[in-house]
Structure 1
Amino acid sequence: MVEQAEALKAAAVAAGPSAPAPTCPKWTVKDLVEHIAQVHNMVVEGLKLGRDDKRPAIAQLPEDWDELVAWWDAKRMEMVTALGEADPAKQAWSFIPEMGTYGWWARRQAHETAIHRLDAEHAQSEKVPTLLFDSELAADGIDEVLATMSVYRARAKRPEVTVEGTLLVHAADAGRAWILHARGGVVEVGPVEDSATAADATLAGTADAVYRAVWKRPSHAILNGREELLQAVNSG
């Protein structure tokens, strides 16, 4: 998380606050930094709450760009310290109550920060490297989107999943694969037990490429079959 946050900050500062963030339509880099700053502050405040407490209030952010970056730095460091010093099993508030632990938040913010680092890289340059994320981080991020976020958001109908079928997801260099079943508005995800598993669509590539694809970012991952099944993949 620390490495991804530093890379996000470097790319955002290099791009400048008024630069468009093309992977986040209608956002500028300042909007992107305001978003990640709000998220990190929400986590800081949420870690102080119990699972049944109300969502933390939205913070009032500095208008000045340099002050905003400094404010985000302080909140991010506070979050990293709090997460690093506590037992990962310790409970806290979460927008998915049953997932509310310090360990869950550490994982969630590692990927929230990594993907928005990618957004900042796209804002800084049209030539973003095809390999930014190591395969272990990327594969874990794919797993989070598929097995946690997509399942939760389908259950909560945010939005409602209207497609039905199976999607095979394969991160070749990580040696991992998942099978997603969408039916009746419900999404279920599990590991692939058989290399001959049949599916209505397949999403495959390096873990980095598939990670970007499940987050609906520009990617070199290859999608074959019923492309509409990607609607069941929902990172939020």
Structure 2
Amino acid sequence: MTAGVDWAQPWFVPWAGPGRLAEAALAAGRSTAEALAAAGPAPVRFVPQEALPAGTPYERFVHETGCCPVRPGLHDFFNGIVWLGLPRTKRRLNQLQAQQIAAHGVGGARGPVRDAITVLDENGALLQAPPPLWDALLARDWRRLFVELRPRWAQARLLVVGHALLEKLAAPRKDLTAHVWREPCPAAEPAQADAWLAGRCTAQALAAKPFTPLPVLGVPGWWAPNENFSFYDDSLVFRPRRGP
């Protein structure tokens, strides 16, 4: 299952500790749930998908039982790895999801808070970077961000926290885009970032959609093709900002 995961890639390095442990357990014949449990402590108990009763919302089940259903495959594998690395944040997001479901139900539109939680949980990222990089990122001035300010990326750290994006990065492609929390993270390592991010995850903050897009494979040092600066001329990926 993890054959395509190269833990030496920069987007996987922060997760390599628990990731390699879980991978070894899988290789020994354990299920995905058992492998994640063997990789370290978590605020939830990983259980097979069959433990989720039919018709029960996943988020409510996790909140009420403390059990996280897991299916085979990289998507739930990386969800579990992020639970191991960001336990406070994942618990906070699950709490907010359960509150929103209790207040508004699960039918129809999810609403701005649940939508934002999904964006962060699936495709989120945190950035620790000097102010000039942040200015260029928020302006979506990609040429300045990735070419003119390229040396400044030596002072930056990007942490991918979205488990769906981590899954997609097992087979990198140019258009993969993270939704970066629109505030500099003081330390872009899971153990140091967890409390910081959990403290910012409020219903009010999430409803404001506190994200900005970042094509992750444009990050200098992350992917060899971006060493040729024509890489950034693709307007379908590096789209200019619209409006004010």
Q: TM-score, normalized by length of structure 2? A: 0.29
TM-score normalized with structure 1 length: 0.30
